[in-house]
Amino acid sequence: MKYILVISYSQSGQLTDLLSNLVSTIKEEIEYVSVQPKTKFSFPWISHEFFNAMPETVLEKEIELNAIEFKRDKYDLIIFGYQPWFLSPSLPATAILKNEAFKKIMNNTRIVTVIGARNMWLNSQESVKQLIKDADGVLVGNIPFVDHNPNLLSAISILHWMLTGKKERKYGIFPLPGISDKDILEASLFGLIIQKSFDNNEFDHIQEQVILSNRVNINTNILFIESRAKKLFSIWARQIIKKGTTPLKRKAWVVLFKYYLLIALFIIAPIVLLVFNIFVRPFSHNRITKKKTYFYSVELIKK
Ligand SMILES: Cc1cc2nc3c(=O)[nH]c(=O)nc-3n(C[C@H](O)[C@H](O)[C@H](O)COP(=O)(O)O)c2cc1C
């Protein structure tokens, strides 16, 4: 019998559902660890708290978690489930990866990451790759799940979900927020890939199989947005921490960031994307393919 550790944090339960369906087709011994921050993030979110989480998330600050207990010292595979927040691993996800006990467990152990995102996970996965590498873990697969609805519609619907706690169509007309029920159900197919690796005792091709499943697709417009937005978030994060020295000042800076983000997302990004699609994309096929090939892989290019 092989031992698998499934470790994650989920606010709404979406990621928990994904993970439990995913491992439902694995026959090995599975231990679940569900992590909770010492100070819980409220769900539904209060609007200000939602945007106020950005600076610490983007700067990958470590928050305190409730004590994590593992039954074993060593596992044959770790399945690490996480969600991106502001193009970075969520605060609880970063804290899990920086937790000393978990770092010991990651050491020299194969890891598969499972992401429950809206649609932007490329930058967060780069951070996760680095944190896994720092602990001498061995990333062998990455299985991202996203909301396939158009970017702006999914942004509106996810905000509705996060701020009301209701996974329902906003005004009855917007698409259902989050990852589709079908994708959540069919996560079990990825468990078969993992089980096959155990049966053949061969783990080098997990990621190849994940990509061959044709269920992971990087959207070119999202790739374009992500390659620029993280740098801007980092500048805002540092600025808010530097200038937000009193609660009142912090609040003012976060409000400024909130309006910046809404304008960037709903006004600037569509214009820039239009220009990109007309003048740049037709001549950048090779560069875009190369970038996507990298993000589809589990490799890490250190910047
Ligand atoms: C504060 C916050 C920021 C988020 N930022 C992103 C993001 O940058 N990219 C993305 O794809 N999803 C983002 N999401 C969506 C989450 O990744 C996730 O899909 C959603 O919160 C549901 O996860 P859960 O299983 O924890 O409930 C964000 C969610 C929250 C609460």
Which atom of ligand 1 is the closest one to the Cα of 86?
A: 8
Q: What is the CATH number of the domain that holds 137?
A: 3.40.50.360
Same domain, 196 and 224: no
Substitution site in 14, 83, 148 for ligand 1 pocket (most atoms within 8 Å of beta carbon): 83
Same domain, 126 and 196: yes
For residue 138, being part of any structural domain is answered with yes
120 C-alpha vs ligand 1 centroid, how far in Å? 9
- pLDDT given for residue 273 in this prediction: 97
Range of the domain at 178: 3-216
pLDDT-above-70 percentage for the chain: 99
Q: Is the CB of 162 under 6 A from ligand 1?
A: yes
Q: Quick check: bond before 44 cis, omega within 30? A: yes
pLDDT-above-90 percentage for the chain: 99
Same domain, 149 and 266: no
pLDDT digits (tens, 9 = 90+) for 262-277: 999 999 999 999 999 9
199 C-alpha vs ligand 1 centroid, how far in Å? 34
Q: Kindly report the average pLDDT of the chain as a whole number.
A: 97
- pLDDT given for residue 255 in this prediction: 98
pLDDT digits (tens, 9 = 90+) for 38-63: 999 999 999 999 999 999 999 999 99
DSSP code at position 147: -
Q: What is the pTM of this model?
A: 0.98
283 vs 280: CA distance, rounded Å: 6
Same domain, 77 and 176: yes
- pLDDT given for residue 303 in this prediction: 57
pLDDT digits (tens, 9 = 90+) for 170-194: 999 999 999 999 999 999 999 999 9
Same domain, 179 and 243: no
CB burial readout 230-268, b (16+ within 10 A) else e: beebbebbeebbeebeeeeebeebbeebbeebeebbeee
